[in-house]
Amino acid sequence: MSALFSPIKLGSLSLKNRIIIAPMCQYSAEDGKATDWHLIHLGGLALSGAGLLILEATAVEAIGRISPGDLGLWSDETEAALAKVLTSIRKHSAMPIAIQLGHAGRKASSQAPWHGGQLIALEDGGWQMVAPSAVPHAQAERAPLALDGAGLQRVKQAFVDAAVRAHRLGIDAIEIHAAHGYLLHQFLSPISNQRADQYGGSVENRLRFPLEVFDAVRAAVPKDSMAVGLRLSATDWVESGLDISQSKLFVQQLQERGCDFIHVSSGGVSPDQKIPLGPGYQVHLAEEIKQHCSIPVIAVGLITDAYQAEEIITTGKADAIAIARGILYDPHWPWHAAAQLGATVEAPKQYWRSQPRDQKNLFGDTRIGQR
């Protein structure tokens, strides 16, 4: 039996295989509301045969959007728009769905990537960003406002409110976004967090606010029916930044608080990062994290080949793998991986006739008649 296609549990959530579709920003929402693009995009991914689909980074408040086109879940209107998309998808797919809740912090108010991705000036429709400290992401950019006590409480409550909305939508799991240089990662990293209060300075203090957000979200939704995990950047790839040893401490504390899974990424908080890109370049970070916790660990980062993914699972480097750009390029990646590894995968009955003649059991015991 293929290890990649074996079942796994993330807290209360059971997955049929260990292929996870990672969150991928689409920059195609309207005032935070999901659109027909999301129905087409997510609907296709929900037919891919993966074990779990995680919705893109979803802002918990309007100023927490990376771009004006970011998906949001901060109002009745954004909730209703997402409900419409999810209702349509669920008519045709039983794939579990998670949502990544996040806040862009000082990396908010940016253009979509195809427009350059640069900070939008206030006079051009941008907005004032917030962060742990009034330190801009890049030297030439305007500085964010440092969050005061009221601001911290507002952000925390926004995460809670979005989590409650996600549960009301019937979403199966929440992934809290504490990676890629966004707000919670900004608190974790000494590069972006230069506070002198209980939320800055020592590593214990820098962990405090992300842990408070996790605790609040975990308490807001039922543990027996909704998994809550977290995505982190295990290293900043900058000598003075967050490193793997600090991330291990963070994960240990998350585990003690009831975290159901850890999704290990890296980088994003500093333009000075030097990332050694290559196949599976972040897997060793997941492996190190896995050695220091007992909850499921998800590896991501240029995992493109079925045998590569299988090796990651069989050797215990991670418990599951996540793919993003690879599944955009090949929307049936799980089908092709199953064919290579001699496994079976779920597919909609409308597609059963597509399985190759030498892969008659690829979709399980499917008997197709033909007039």
Statement: residue 371 has pLDDT above 60: no
The residues near 281 (Cβ < 8 Å, ≥ 6 apart) are 275, 301, 302
Q: What is the pLDDT of residue 355?
A: 87
Q: What percent of the chain has pLDDT over 90?
A: 94
1 within some domain: no
Q: Euclidean distance between the first and final Cα of the chain, in Å?
A: 35
| Long-range contacts of 120-123, Cβ-Cβ distance < 8 Å, separation of 24 or more | 120/68
Q: How many domains does the chain divide into?
A: 1
369 within some domain: no
Statement: residue 369 has pLDDT above 80: no
Q: What is the pLDDT of residue 182?
A: 98
pLDDT in tens, 97-141: 999 999 999 999 999 999 999 999 999 999 999 999 999 999 899
pLDDT in tens, 14-56: 999 999 999 999 999 999 999 999 999 999 999 999 999 999 9
Could you tell me the CATH number of the domain that includes residue 53? 3.20.20.70
Statement: residue 330 has pLDDT above 80: yes
301-315 exposure pattern, b = at least 16 Cβ within 10 A, e = fewer: bbbeebebbbebbee
50 within some domain: yes
Cβ-contact 132, 185 below 8 angstroms? no
d(CA 332, CA 310): 17
3 within some domain: no
Helices 76-90 and 36-45, packing angle to 10 deg: 40
360 within some domain: no
Q: What is the pLDDT of residue 365?
A: 66
366 within some domain: no
Sign of CA dihedral 245, 250, 253, 255: negative
Average pLDDT over residues 327-352: 95
Q: What is the pLDDT of residue 361?
A: 86
Tokens of 241: 């930044």
Pick left, alpha or beta for residue 364 (phi over 0 → left; psi -120 to 50 → alpha; otherwise beta).
left
The lowest-confidence range among 130-139, 227-236, 271-280, 351-360 is 351-360
Cβ-contact 134, 202 below 8 angstroms? no
Q: What is the pLDDT of residue 364?
A: 84
Catalytic site residues? 182
pLDDT band for position 10 (50/70/90)? very high
What is the domain range of residue 215?
8-354
d(CA 88, CA 100): 20
365 within some domain: no
260 within some domain: yes
Q: What is the dihedral of CA 195, 212, 97, 158, to 10 degrees?
A: -70
Q: What is the pLDDT of residue 368?
A: 63
Statement: residue 61 has pLDDT above 90: yes
Q: What is the pLDDT of residue 110?
A: 98
Cβ-contact 129, 104 below 8 angstroms? yes
d(CA 34, CA 81): 5
